[in-house]
Amino acid sequence: MLMLVLLVSSLVGSTTPAMADVDPAIQALIARGEYAEAERLLEQQIDDPAAPLMSEAGIQLEILRRTRFDFPDTVEVVLAQLKKSIPDIRHDDIDRWREAGDLQARTIDGEPRYFREAVSNLFRASEEARSRRAVGPAPPKKFDLNALIEELVRLSADSNSDEVYPVKHNVRYELAVNEGHPRLKPDAKVRAWLPFPQEYRQQRDVKLVGSEPRHIAISENGAPHRTIYFEDIVTDPAKPPRFRVEFEFTTSAYCPKLDAAKVEPYDVDSASFREFTAERPPHIVFTPAVKQLAAQIVGDEANPLEKARRIFRWVSQNIPWCSEMEYSIIPNISEKGLTARRGDCGVQGLVFITLCRAAGVPARWQSGWQTKPNDWNMHDWSEFYVEPWGWLPADASYGVRDHADPRVHDFLCGHMDPYRLIVNLDYARPLEPPKTSFRSEPNDFQRGEIEIDGHNLYFDEWDYTFQVRTTRQN
């Protein structure tokens, strides 16, 4: 079981002071799943339970609460869910899949508690579970990505530009506090940060259409997390605050013509090279196992472009996608992916970044939303650096495509489709202006953040809506 010890780097982005390690006795309780006792001891360390979450003990207590939120289901709930797909399911099946790690659970206060997406993930992880599943009609394909990539390959081959297939986006985003929230009191101050698009290479022509209430500020282009910031004062507690923004931008597919024979050597003494080939604890750490794995994957390959391609293919093949727990309760995201050998797009991306850096290829984070027609969602991906092209996109989650044409097969290592909203150019950096309490998502920024009188509101205390319209320009 991963120990829920929050390291200093996980706190970047709030005004929480740097913290020492949690008491080893409490660490041991958490590792054994004795949450109630750990919570009791942590509560004793909090001077003012009504104060915003800023103390070491308060943040660790919140992490335990979030863990309970992510692992809510008893074995009876999971059994009932599985019976719908596997009518002859038995308790010993559940025990066996849990012990194998295919049915995600944690022991909390002496009882297995299952991840909220454990059942859907089981069918992704277990061949036996899939073989026993009652076969129903195949779900319709939301979007044919391979067909799009085929067209992008064709267009880019005939174009003198690295950018083809421009798509105009119109996005409406709303964040709303839950009705009846106990912090909704007259004169309470509400602060909210919503996502806003970067002007970045193939994404341009960003235009704010409107905001409600009127926004206070938009962070500068190039900020690690680009936000539009709001403040409001509660006048009627019966009317929960809502924050809305509408914006437009155009994103093109990015399709540089890559040739390994044209790769130029790095300036290994440059500050940029050193920064993006370095460790960045807690989520990018070069353990002996990581260094050994990176060396095995790249072998004797010295060309940075080919190194990145080998790592991309390895992640695509060995770290399949699954629904993931909230990042704020994962001590080391890349380690989690390499240990579990599965994870969502952010886990896959940080595994790719970590292995690239360990192999001497500069790599960094990028994220926002995927905006494919009928298939939008939050999404994370990466970039790696190769001269003479500079930063190149890589989406290890979309991964290697099942296609005979190698240009389609490896397209998403060095190229990018146009159905993207780029919001973040890094992870775990401060918001602008900074939050005063522990963020709901200390690493990524997609759904937004909100606080009332300095108190963070977690994802179960508010909701959001994302609406996007896309129009191909030519």
If DSSP states are collapsed to H, E and C, what string results for 356-393? HHHCCCCEEEEEEEEEECCEEEEEEEEEEEEECCEEEE
Q: Which pLDDT value is given to residue 21?
A: 60
**From CA 164, how far away is CA 151, in angstroms rounded?**
10
**From CA 235, how far away is CA 396, in angstroms rounded?**
47
What ranges do the domains of the chain cover? 8-70, 75-132, 145-253+430-472, 256-414
What H or E segment, with its residue span, contains residue 152? helix 145-157
Q: Which pLDDT value is given to residue 50?
A: 79
Parallel, antiparallel, or unpaired: how do β-strands 227-233 and 375-386 relate?
A: unpaired
Tokens of 104: 């995600």
Q: Are residues 115 and 104 in contact, defined by beta-carbon separation less than 8 angstroms? A: yes
Listed residue (426, 383, 368, 380) closest to 196, CA to CA: 368
The pTM assigned to this predicted structure is: 0.94
Q: Which pLDDT value is given to residue 9?
A: 32
Amino acid 456 reads N
CA 294 vs CA 357, 386, 412: distances in Å: 9, 18, 20
The stretches in the chain having pLDDT less than 50 are: 1-20
Tokens of 226: 């680009």
**From CA 11, how far away is CA 439, in angstroms rounded?**
8
Listed residue (452, 473, 472, 474) closest to 462, CA to CA: 452
Alpha helix (H) residue ranges in 288-327: 288-298, 304-318
Q: Is 444 left (phi over 0), alpha (psi -120 to 50) or beta?
A: beta
Query: Is residue 366 helix, strand or coil?
Result: strand
**From CA 348, how far away is CA 399, in angstroms rounded?**
10
- Residues 404-423 as b/e (b if ≥16 CB within 10 A, e otherwise) read eeebbbbbbbbbbbbbbbbb
- Examine residue 331 and say whether the peptide bond preceding it is cis (omega within 30 degrees of 0): no
Which residues make beta-bridge pairs with 36? none
What H or E segment, with its residue span, contains residue 171? strand 163-177
- Residues 313-342 as b/e (b if ≥16 CB within 10 A, e otherwise) read bbbbeebebbebbbbbbbbbbbbbbbebeb
Q: Is 180 left (phi over 0), alpha (psi -120 to 50) or beta?
A: left
**If one looks up domain 256-414 in CATH, what number appears?**
3.10.620.30
